[in-house]
Structure 1
Amino acid sequence: MRADAVTGGQTNNRTASPWLVALLTALVMTLFAANSLLCRFALAGEASSPLNPAVYTALRAISGAGMLWLMVARRGGNPLRAGSWSAALALFGYMACFSWAYVRLSAGAGALVIAVAVQAGMLVAGLRLGQRPGKAQSAGIGLAMAGLVYLLLPGLDAPPAGAASVIFCSGLCWAVYTICGRQGGDVTAATAGNFIRCVPLALVLLVWGMAVDGAGSPAAWPWAGVVCALAAGALASALGYVLWYAVLRWLSVPSAAVVQLSVPLITAMGGAWLMHEALGLRLLVSTLAILGGIFCATALPHLLRSR
């Protein structure tokens, strides 16, 4: 789940067709879910040999930066004037932890852990700013954390604790990135600037992966994994983020929060369909608890106030 919904849903433009808004929203949620599916497909070696996570992260960052630079440059903008190094570091941390975690983590479980981590990070940030959660938010976060604890309890069908911890860090990095981007302005240019600032870090990581981490030369990289990494950066990340900010103009805050609850579900269904990942009882119960808790923490307070 993306935390942008909590901070950015606007309703100042209702001229778009409801069908168009619904179609674009479904497309964006699918692109967000595709990030997990593409990463898991490339790093688990479903098609051939697995791609190195350092290479995957670098290719994702570079392709995302290239796509966003083209979008901003076409309208005469300069993406380096927007964004910040603090946001770029958080974005890069999110992508790097994301890749290493999905070496061993199923797509659906990873999406659920990220959802909880983002909400936990946003809650801590709010507390530091003096924002106290209400009863519905407190209950929602408690329910979501209980679902996460149940998901990670020791057992044959529990996800690996190490990988779950890494992807939890990925979600925390995304929460930091979201907070860094709350200053407003041109969000597309800021996103482009942040991705472009990630390129030097990506190149360093790429060299390290080839020299130290066993990635080998580009000729040895599995083509399917490379395609997944490029698609994750240019389409699922860059295009997905730009479309999401555009759709937010037509969604209320509760609506934006609720639709994002579909991302872990799409991810889990996609993992089961495309990669034959198991949908066990533990995952299903955890999904209900986590998504129900996030609904209570994000959308429910707004719905109660509107009555």
Structure 2
Amino acid sequence: MIEPGGSAARVRGTTVVLVALAILAFAGNSLLARAALGTGQIGWGSFTAIRLAAGAAILLPWLLRGPRERPSGRGALALLVYCGAFSFAYVRLNAATGAMVLFAAVQATILVAGALSGNRVRAIDLAGVAMAMTGVVVLIGGRAEAGPVLAMLGMVVAGIAWGLYSVLGRSAADPARRTAGNFLVAALVAAPLPLLDAGPAPAFGGVALAIASGAFASGLGYVAWYRVVPRLPHATVGAAQLATPVVAALAAAVLLGEPLTVRLAVAAALILGGIAATLRRA
């Protein structure tokens, strides 16, 4: 006979595993993109196209099962812009910096979208966004040359697009199936993007990293996230958002040899503190 407590414990254990996998997947996208793009193994257009195609392929079973969940044209566009701007930014940005800027822009976008739809914006929300954006300015201050600043702006665009994609996804009856459809549409539109790459043909390593980013860190990571989000309280969802750039920064220091500088630490404190403030209940 199965004890009810044992069943609840298994559910909790599964939830913890899915949250951990989603955080690792989201952080992994930054690491995989930087490892491929920062070393010149692949251009940003090819990385984007391959990432979306691999995500569409791995998500195909979700797209085909049961009643169809029509892809959202706006959702597919937001996904395409996010992936393209994300790849463009990681040609110049390191993994830690990119993840910090991305999540600051995501949270600011979600708050603005909520305010425009009639949700009350609290003073602490505005203060949190201001604090997070101050952290982004601190990061930019150390990279005043044109290239990195342009890359920072690209990551801000990626964060805005991902924030909008998240907001649009709330209306889906089956978010995983909707995501699969959006990946398929975005992959078809992104197919010509490799023509924008100015360098040599992609190396095998760059292609492999793009496939890993699309199939595992994006496709399966998003499925894990969508399965677990309905089970979580708001504060836990927010904690996962906070954990992702921290995990990305620490993993980048270990795996990619990126420095953990004082400037990054100060910016991280401002950005994560600002995001945390917006996630607090009134």
Q: TM-score, normalised by structure 1?
A: 0.84
**Aligned-pair CA distance for 1:119:** 1.5
**Aligned-pair CA distance for 1:122:** 1.6
Q: Alignment partner of 2:170: what SS?
A: helix
Note the residue ranges of structure 1 that are not aligned, 5 or more in a row: 1-12
Letter in 1 for 2:47: Y
Q: Which residue of 1 aligns with 2:27?
A: 33
Q: 1:109 aligns with which of 53, 74, 97?
A: 97
Is structure 2 residue 218 aligned with structure 1 residue 237?
yes
Letter in 2 for 1:214: A
How far apart, CA to CA, are the structure 2 residues paired with 1:109 and 1:296?
A: 20
Cα contact 1:151–1:158 (8 A) shared by 2: no
Cα contact 1:16–1:250 (8 A) shared by 2: no
Cα contact 1:105–1:159 (8 A) shared by 2: no
Paired positions, count: 276
Q: Alignment partner of 1:261: what SS?
A: helix
Q: Which residue of 1 aligns with 2:14?
A: 20
Q: Which is worse superposed, 185-194 or 126-135?
A: 126-135
Q: Which residue of 2 aligns with 1:195?
A: 183
Q: Which residue of 2 aligns with 1:291?
A: 272
Cα contact 2:43–2:199 (8 A) shared by 1: yes
How far apart, CA to CA, are the structure 2 residues paired with 1:22 and 1:204?
A: 39
Let me know the Cα RMSD of the aligned residues.
Answer: 2.2
Is structure 2 residue 82 aligned with structure 1 residue 94?
yes
- CA spacing shift, 1:130–1:72, aligned 2, 3 Å: closer
Q: TM-score, normalised by structure 2?
A: 0.91
Q: Alignment partner of 2:119: what SS?
A: coil
Letter in 1 for 2:198: G
Q: What is the correspondence of 1:34-183 to structure 2 with a 5 Å cutoff?
A: 34-45=28-39, 49-73=40-64, 75-78=65-68, 81-154=69-142, 160-183=148-171
Is structure 2 residue 261 aligned with structure 1 residue 273?
no
Letter in 2 for 1:240: G
Deviations 1:92-129 (A, max 9, x none): 00000000100000100000001111112122222322
Cα contact 1:152–1:159 (8 A) shared by 2: no
Q: Which residue of 2 aligns with 1:204?
A: 192
**Aligned-pair CA distance for 1:136:** 2.4
Note the residue ranges of structure 2 that are not aligned, 5 or more in a row: 1-6
Cα contact 1:55–1:215 (8 A) shared by 2: no
Q: Which is worse superposed, 252-261 or 91-100?
A: 252-261
Q: Alignment partner of 1:183: what SS?
A: coil
Q: Alignment partner of 1:279: what SS?
A: coil
**Aligned-pair CA distance for 1:16:** 4.3
How far apart, CA to CA, are the structure 2 residues paired with 1:182 and 1:164?
A: 28
How far apart, CA to CA, are the structure 1 residues paired with 2:146 and 2:98?
A: 12
Q: Which residue of 2 aligns with 1:252?
A: 233
**Aligned-pair CA distance for 1:225:** 0.7
Q: Which is worse superposed, 272-281 or 152-161?
A: 152-161
How far apart, CA to CA, are the structure 1 residues paired with 2:152 and 2:95?
A: 11
**Aligned-pair CA distance for 1:159:** 8.9
How far apart, CA to CA, are the structure 2 residues paired with 1:202 and 1:77?
A: 26
**Aligned-pair CA distance for 1:155:** 5.8
Is structure 2 residue 198 aligned with structure 1 residue 214?
yes
**Aligned-pair CA distance for 1:88:** 0.4
Letter in 1 for 2:20: A
- CA spacing shift, 1:282–1:196, aligned 2, 3 Å: same
Letter in 2 for 1:27: L
Q: Which residue of 2 aligns with 1:262?
A: 243
- CA spacing shift, 1:155–1:165, aligned 2, 3 Å: closer
